Structure 1
Amino acid sequence: MVGAVPVARTGDQNVDGLLVGTRWNAEFLSYSFPTSGSLYGKSYGWGEAEDGFEAFNPGQMAAVRAAFRMVAAVSNLNFSEVAETSGDHALLRFAMSDAPGSAWTYSPDSSEESGDTWFRNAGGWYDTPVPGNYAFYTVLHEMVHGIGLKHGHEAAGFGAMLPDRDSMEYSITTYRSYVGASAAHVENEAVGYAQTLMMYDIAALQHLYGANYAQRSGNTIYRWSPTTGETFIDGAGQGAPAGNRLFMTVWDGGGNDCYDFSNYETGVQVDLRPGEWSKTSSGQLAYLGGGQYARGSIANALLHEGDARSLIENAIGGRGADQITGNESANSLSGREGADRLFGLDGSDILSGGAGNDRLAGGAGRDRFVFDMRPSKTSNRDHISDFVVADDTIVLQNAVFTKLGKVGKLSSGAFWAGTAAHDASDRIIYSKGAGSLFYDSDGSGRSAPVLFATIGKNLKLTHADFLVI
């Protein structure tokens, strides 16, 4: 029989601050949309069933189903919809009433009311829930109360979230729209509410019910619309939010995944580290009130118990000057057009600046720096700030550097360390004193060498540090 059981702390106050102290002892939970107040017991609650009762409309029911899908996507909970009758009651029930001042939910316990959610009927505040608006946010907010989460700003239970994380940017349960805001009520613009569970909501639910690594466990590509804010997963649209805002957290169960921002005309800021944010554009940032905008558009979920399967491994930038930061995995980062800045961090990464004069830093690991754009006197000259001889590799596209010879390791005769080519076979020239790399199509012939990169000075560079593809 489904019942409520106590839960333990995690030791992370931002997670513990969301725990009411109980959870359901089952992974399969039922929900329903009662059609009459008479389906509730005579001594039920605070009179909700008798004070302006109204059943949910189709849009409200769709929002609840979507919210349950979000919870099931990140945890091991499963939800089934049942028809509420006088003899068959769901665990989690949703209806309207004039008893609540806004909305409320009963937490997991042994009472008849536990798990039930009520929304205020009068005023029409919750009639048309769409991701990004107040009504949909409230559906998410109330629904997680029914499965074991409390308000993050309240000191009850295991205490409140830490002040620097107590905001909607990190949890849908707190009343603080931004860090330092009042906890009296949320202040967001009409279309600027969280569109998904946020990172500490996900972490708390995974503590209670486990993490779902089967969710999008393949090689998943995420894209977003610059004009509507709609998310596309492997090309499938997920539905446009209430306005052209992005205010969401991504959980991905596994695979080799990619954030693809190639349809953005401007530069984007991408950070693949757990708990960090990516920013698509200023226009898509949610306004949180008090002169504050969300710190980003798309947040990455935190790792559950250090399991790296949920990392996003790869990123593709926009057409402007991007800043892309990797994570602990082996990342593939592509800047495309614009003067980009790419940071691989840990792992054996592949960094491709694309067109423009880019700055590349591989970080720890055996990294590859890809050059696949034709250099000129002014453009496509990248700077590698941390090249390590024998660990890192410079990768040259044969279709661009057409005189390098066969695919594979650069031949020893095609490399020369000096200020100029010393014979006709030299193709890659490393000027040690300047730390410059040149491509010379005819060696000591009449064609002038072209600068395509700068790296460290006086490195013990050899032909073995180059790969032709």
Structure 2
Amino acid sequence: MATAVVAGRANSPLTDGALSGLQWNGPEVTYSFPAWADFYGLGYGSGEPQKNFEPLNELQIAVARSIFRMISATTNLTLTEIEETASIHADIRLAMSGFAETGWAYTLDEAGAGGDAWFNSLSGRYHAPVIGNFAFWTFLHEIAHTLGLKHAHEDGVFGRVPVELDSMEFSVTTYRSYVGAAGARVENEPWGYAQSLMIGDIAALQYMYGANFSARAASTTYRWDAKTGQAFIDGVGQGLPGGNRIFCTVWDGGGIDTYDFANYRTDLSVDLRPGHWSTLSLGQLAYLGGFRWARGNVANALLYQGDPRSLIENAIGGSGDDRIYGNSAGNHLIGRQGKDRLFGLDGADTLNGGHDHDILRGGEGSDVFIFNTPPSAKRNRDAIPDFDVRDDSLYLDNAVFRSLGAGSAHHPQKLKKAFFVIGEEARDHNDFIVYNKENKVLLYDRDGSGPSNAVPIVTFSKELKITSHDIFVV
């Protein structure tokens, strides 16, 4: 069996405020669902087995298993279910009792009961845990205790979490639903509870047990249903939440990963930075009580010891006016429809606004700006405020810009010098790309000096020394 050992200070306020000071000596930890009160033996704990004992029902067991899988996918713990008997005992045991009105768990060093969790058997509040409801959150909360997390809102050996981080948005172990809540009691709407371990929980568990970079280590696509809130990982549904709410944190082990929000018609606010939130729909935000809503739908886990493998690299917007931020990786950001604003930030990013008037900021690094929708002065004219000819490039899709010749996404071809001209208009029959330096605009003229009018592709914020070497055909 695993035994309890001392867990040291992390020197991070968010993490330290969640640590009890004890952890399993792991990485092998077992759990079980005892079917009979006798399995606990005489003199157990506070006498829970003798007070309206009930084993967990099938739904409760399924939820508990899903949470243990969630923890295994996040940490290096190997959590194994065993069959509990009178002589074989798991490190963590879950059952119901009428001893108290809520759920509760024993600290890891409690003789004979350490790591066990109980749920009230009489109230009916815990019999039907479904993603997003009070019972589901309680299972998350108590199982977090069984692994060494304390109440984040209470003092402990390393103190409590800072006031500005004391909410369910950061930890399932606090009783404060939102930052600044006066009392230590949850106030969430019926379907507005956390649907996963949250940012601080993941950080604290990984501090004790390490981070699992083998889970979802390949390139993974995450999507949420705009009508139900269900999450899909590579097309596989992760369970239907209640109330069409989304309130979760994502940990990903590696690969080139994507948040795909193409099915949304709302004005998205997407942020791929660690510890930041994305809001997919105001209607899917969890109401936390006190006229407070969750600060987003989906949070990104923090980096473990600065390791960038857990970053989400790519994001696909919907049909609204989206705002999408990248991170330090080489991001591929796609706006699709709507007047979007894309921010690559650090890294060598690829930005594609899609349709409508978009604003594209590459940020630091060598960035690529893709144009693969028909340009239009009235409907589809983008702006790049920070284009740098020393590092950045423009990619023009020959499926749209048909006069430019061969090239592909896998084999971009530099624009032929003869196809490029600086001036107010095309002067030759093959001046297909015109850079109007005075107006700071790049235009496409499909027949050069022929009768067709040049159409603006993108506007820059200042006069640039653009040449054909900055433009590629794909």
TM-score band by shorter chain is over 0.9
Once the two structures are superposed, what CA deviation does each residue of 1:387-412 show, in whole Å capped at 9, x if it has no partner? 00131001101111111133210111
Q: Does residue 374 of structure 1 match 2:374? A: yes
Q: What is the rounded CA distance, in whole Å, between the counterparts of 1:249 and 1:13 in structure 2?
A: 19
2:441 aligned with 1:436 = yes
What is the CA-CA distance between 1:184 and the residue it aligns to? 2.4
How much does 1:442 deviate? 2.0
Deviation by residue 1:384-440 (Cα, 9 ceiling, x = unmatched): 010001310011011111111332101111111111222222111111121111111
Tell whether 2:383 aligns with 1:383: yes
Partner of 1:460: 465
Kept after mapping to 1: 8 A contact 2:92/2:115: yes
Question: Structure 1 runs of 4+ off > 6 angstroms?
Answer: none
- 1:80-99 mapped onto 2 (5 Å cutoff): 80-99=80-99
Instruction: Return the alpha-carbon distance in structure 1 between the equivalents of residues 28 and 57 of structure 2.
Output: 25
3-state SS, counterpart of residue 379 of structure 1: coil
CA deviation after TM superposition for structure 1 residue 103, in Å:
1.2
In 2, distance between residues paired with 1:445 and 1:202? 62
Instruction: Give the counterpart of 1:411 among 416, 419, 424.
Output: 416
Render the CA deviation track for 1:127-182: whole Å, top value 9, x for unaligned.
10011000010001001101100011011220011111110001100011011013
The CA deviation at 1:7 is 1.2
Q: Does the 8 Å CA contact 1:174/1:183 hold for their aligned counterparts?
A: no
Structure 1 CA distance for aligned equivalents of residues 390 and 421 of structure 2: 17
> Aligned runs of 1:205-354 on 2, under 5 Å?
205-354=205-354
Asked whether 1:147 is paired with 2:126, we answer: no
After TM superposition, give the deviation of residue 18 of structure 1 in Å.
0.4
The CA distance in 1 between the partners of 2:417 and 2:9, in whole Å, is: 61
Q: Which residue of 1 aligns with 2:410?
A: none
**2:70 pairs with 1:70:** yes
SS at match of 2:163: coil
The 3-state SS of whatever aligns with 1:35 is: coil
Q: Distance in 2 between matches of 1:177 and 1:462?
A: 56
> In structure 1, what is the equivalent of residue 120 of structure 2?
120
* SS of corresponding position for 1:329: coil
Taking the aligned partners of 1:187 and 1:335, their CA distance within structure 2 comes to 36
Distance 2:284 2:370 in 1: 31
Distance 2:237 2:44 in 1: 42
The Cα of 1:41 is off from its aligned counterpart by: 2.8
For 1:284 and 1:211, how far apart are their aligned partners in 2? 30
User: Once structures 1 and 2 are overlaid, which stretch shifts more, 285-294 or 416-425?
Assistant: 416-425
Structure-2 separation of matches of 1:83 and 1:352 = 53
2-side partners of 1:376 and 1:455: how far apart?
16
User: Which residue in the other structure is 1:427 paired with?
Assistant: 432
2:66 & 2:216 partners in 1: Cα distance? 16
Please state if 1:397 is matched with 2:397.
yes
d(CA) in 2 for partners of 1:405 and 1:145? 63
Q: Deviation string for 1:339-393 (max 9, x for gaps)?
A: 0000000010000000010000000010001111111230110000100013100
**Conservation of the 8 A alpha-carbon contact between 2:41 and 2:86:** no
1:398 maps to amino acid: N
Q: What letter matches 1:376 in structure 2? A: S
**Does the alignment pair 1:129 with 2:129?**
yes
> Deviation at 1:310?
0.2
User: Does 2:29 correspond to 1:29?
Assistant: yes
Shift of 1:91: 1.0
Matches of 1:116 and 1:406 in 2, distance apart?
A: 66
Query: What are the superposed Cα offsets for residues 17-52 of structure 1, whole Å, 9 maximum, x if unpaired?
Result: 000001010111111111222222322111211111
Contact 2:63 2:129 (C-alpha < 8 Å) held by counterparts: yes
CA contact (8 A) 1:3 1:110 kept: no
Aligned residues: 469
What SS does the corresponding residue of 1:403 show, helix, strand or coil? helix
Pairwise CA RMSD? 1.0
Distance in 2 between the 1:135 and 1:405 partners? 61
Task: Give the distance between the partners of 2:62 and 2:402, measured in 1 at CA.
Answer: 57
Contact 2:108 2:146 in 1 (8 A): yes
What is the deviation of 1:101?
A: 2.5
Query: Partners of 2:369 and 2:207 in 1: how far apart?
Result: 39
Amino acid at match of 1:290: G
Distance 2:461 2:227 in 1: 42
- Alpha-carbon contact 1:267-1:317 (below 8 Å) kept: no
Overall identity of the aligned pairs, in %: 53
Post-superposition shift, 1:188?
0.3
| Structure 2 unmatched runs, 5+ | 408-412
Distance 1:20 1:266 in 2: 41
- Superposed CA deviations along residues 173-211 of structure 1, whole A, max 9, x for unmatched, are 001101101342100000110000001100100011010
Q: Which moved more, 1:377-386 or 1:438-447?
A: 438-447
Between 11-20 and 99-108, report the one with greater CA deviation.
99-108
Local SS of the residue matching 1:118:
strand
CA distance in 2, matches of 1:54, 1:377: 69
Which residue identity lines up with residue 31 of structure 1 in the other structure? Answer: Y
Q: Which runs of 5+ in 1 are unaligned?
A: none
Q: Which residue of 2 aligns with 1:20?
A: 20
How many angstroms does 1:110 deviate by?
5.4
SS of 2:403's equivalent in the other structure is coil
Query: TM-score scaled to structure 1, two decimals?
Result: 0.98
Write the distance in 2 (CA, Å) between the matches of 1:291 and 1:104.
29
| 2: CA distance, partners of 1:445 / 1:89 | 85
2:101–2:123 contact (8 Å) kept in structure 1: no
Distance 1:82 1:446 in 2: 79
